[in-house]
Chain A
Amino acid sequence: MKNITRRHFGKGAIGLGLTAAALGAPSILRANTYPNRAINYIIPFNPGGESDVTARFQQPFFEEITGQSVVIQSKPGAGGATAWAQLNGFDPDGHTIMNTIVPHTVLQPAMKDVGYQTADINNVFFFHYTPDAIVVKADSPYQTLQDLIDDASANPGTVTFGGSGTNTANHLASQIFMDMTGAITTYIPFRGSAPAMTAVLGGQIAAAMSYTTQGVKAGEQVRTLAVATNERVAALPDAPTFKELGYDHVGGAYRGVAVPAGTPQDIQQRLSDILQQINANPDFQAQMTAAGYEVIDVPLGDVPGFIEERRAAYAPAIERLKSA
Chain B
Amino acid sequence: MIDALLSAATPFNIMLALIGVVLGTVIGALPGLSATMAVAVLVPFTFTMDPASGLIALGAVYTGAIYGGAYASILVNTPGTPAAIATALDGFPMAKQGDGDLAVTISCFASAFGGLVGALALLIVAPPLATIALKFGPVEYFWLAIFGLSLIAVLSKGATLKGLIGGFLGLGLSTIGSAVVGGDVRYTFGNPVMLGGIHIIPALIGLYCVPVLLNMVATQDPHIERAAGGRGARVGEALGLMWRSKFNLVRSSVIGTVVGILPAAGGAVAGLVAYSEAQRTSKQPDEFGKGAVDGVIASESANSATVGGGFVPTLVLGIPGTPPDAIILGALMVQGIRVGPQLFAEQASTVYTFIFGLLFATILMIPVGLLIGRTAFRTISSIPKAVLAPAIGVLIMIGSFAVEQNATHVVMMVALGAFAWVALKYGFEASPIVLGLILGPIAEQGFVQGYLIGNAAGNIWGEFFTRPISIAIIAFTMLTLLWPVWTGRKGRALKGALQNE
Contact among B136, B180, B317, B318 for A191, CB-based, below 8 A? B180
- B371 sits at the interface (CB 8 A): no
Which residues of chain A in 182-201 are interfacial with respect to chain B, using CB atoms and an 8 Å cutoff? 186, 188-191, 194-195, 197-199, 201
Contacting residues, chain A, for B327 (C-beta < 8 A): 47-48
**Known contacts A188-B449, A190-B180, A190-B445: A82-B195 contact under CB 8 Å:** yes
Interface 1/0s, chain B 18-44, versus A by CB < 8 A? Answer: 000000000000000000100010011
Q: Are B134 and A78 in contact (CB under 8 A)?
A: no
Q: Which of A47, A73, A204 contacts B453 (CB 8 A)?
A: A204
User: Does chain A have a CB within 8 A of B297?
Assistant: no
Count class of interface residues, chain B: 35 or more
**Is A101's beta carbon under 8 Å from chain B?**
no
Q: Is B166 an interface residue (CB 8 A)?
A: no
Give Cα distance in the complex from A300 to B71, angstroms.
51
Task: Name the A residues within 8 Å of B404 (CB-CB).
Answer: 74-77
Docked CA distance A74–B326 (Å): 14
Interface centre among A157, A158, A166 (most CB of B within 10 A): A166
Q: Does B264 contact A (CB under 8 A)?
A: yes
Interface size class of A (residues with CB under 8 A): 35 or more
Q: Which of A49, A73, A113, A198 contacts B319 (CB 8 A)?
A: A198
Q: Which of A77, A78, A158, A165 contacts B456 (CB 8 A)?
A: A158
Query: Is A65 located at the chain interface by the 8 A CB criterion?
Result: no
B378 to chain A, nearest CB (A): 36
Who on chain A is nearest to B343 by CB? Answer: A219
- B402-433 vs A, Cβ < 8 Å mask (1 yes, 0 no): 00111100000000000000000000000000
- Cα(A79)–Cα(B185), bound, Å: 12
Residue numbers in B under 8 Å from A52 (CB-CB): 330
Contact of B339 among A47, A72, A79, A217 (CB under 8 A): A217
* A280 on interface, CB distance cutoff 8 Å: no
Contact B196 A159 (CB under 8 A): no
Q: B340 an interface residue at 8 Å Cβ cutoff? A: yes
Cα separation A73 to B423 with both chains bound (whole Å): 36
Contacting A at CB under 8 A, from B114-148, are 133-138
With both chains docked as a complex, state the minimum distance between the C-beta of B334 and any C-beta of chain A, in angstroms.
5
User: Is A36 in contact with chain B by the CB < 8 A criterion?
Assistant: no
- Chain A residues near B383 (CB, 8 Å)? none
Tell whether, in the assembled complex, residue B196 and residue A77 are in contact, meaning their CB atoms are under 8 Å apart: yes
Q: Which residues of A contact B135 (CB under 8 A)?
A: 202
Q: Does B462 contact A (CB under 8 A)?
A: no
Do A219 and B340 form a contact, CB below 8 Å, given A190-B445, A197-B319?
Answer: yes
A48 and B334 within 8 A (CB): no
With A48-B326, A157-B456, A195-B264: A86-B185 Cβ-Cβ less than 8 Å: no
A81 vs B179: C-alpha distance when bound (angstroms): 12
A114 with B264: CB separation less than 8 A: no
CB distance from B183 to the nearest CB of A (A): 3
B443-501 contacts to A (CB < 8 Å): 445, 448-449, 452-453, 455-458
A118 at the interface (CB under 8 A from B): no
**Complex alpha-carbon distance, A73 and B406, angstroms:** 12
B330–A81 contact, CB under 8 A? no
Tell me, yes or no, whether B237 is within 8 Å of chain A by CB: no
Q: Considering the complex, give the chain B residue whose CB is closest to the CB of A86.
A: B192
- The distance from the CB of B136 to the nearest CB of chain A, in whole angstroms, is 7
Tell me, in angstroms, the Cα distance from A191 to B266 when the chains sit together.
Answer: 15
The closest CB in chain B to the CB of A201 belongs to B134
A191 lies within 8 A of B178 (CB): no
Contact indicator B318/A218 (Cβ below 8 Å): yes
B residues near A262, Cβ cutoff 8 Å = none
Q: Report how far A221 CA is from B341 CA in the complex, Å.
A: 8
A40 CA to B319 CA, complexed, in Å: 29
Q: Shortest Cβ distance from A156 into chain B, in angstroms?
A: 10
Given A189-B180, A190-B445, decide whether A198 and B133 contact each other with a Cβ distance below 8 A.
Answer: yes
- Chain B residues with CB under 8 Å of chain A are 36, 40, 43-44, 133-138, 177-185, 190-193, 195-197, 263-264, 317-320, 323, 326-330, 333-334, 336, 338-342, 404-407, 445, 448-449, 452-453, 455-458
Closest 5 CB pairs of A and B: A77-B196, A85-B192, A166-B183, A48-B326, A115-B192
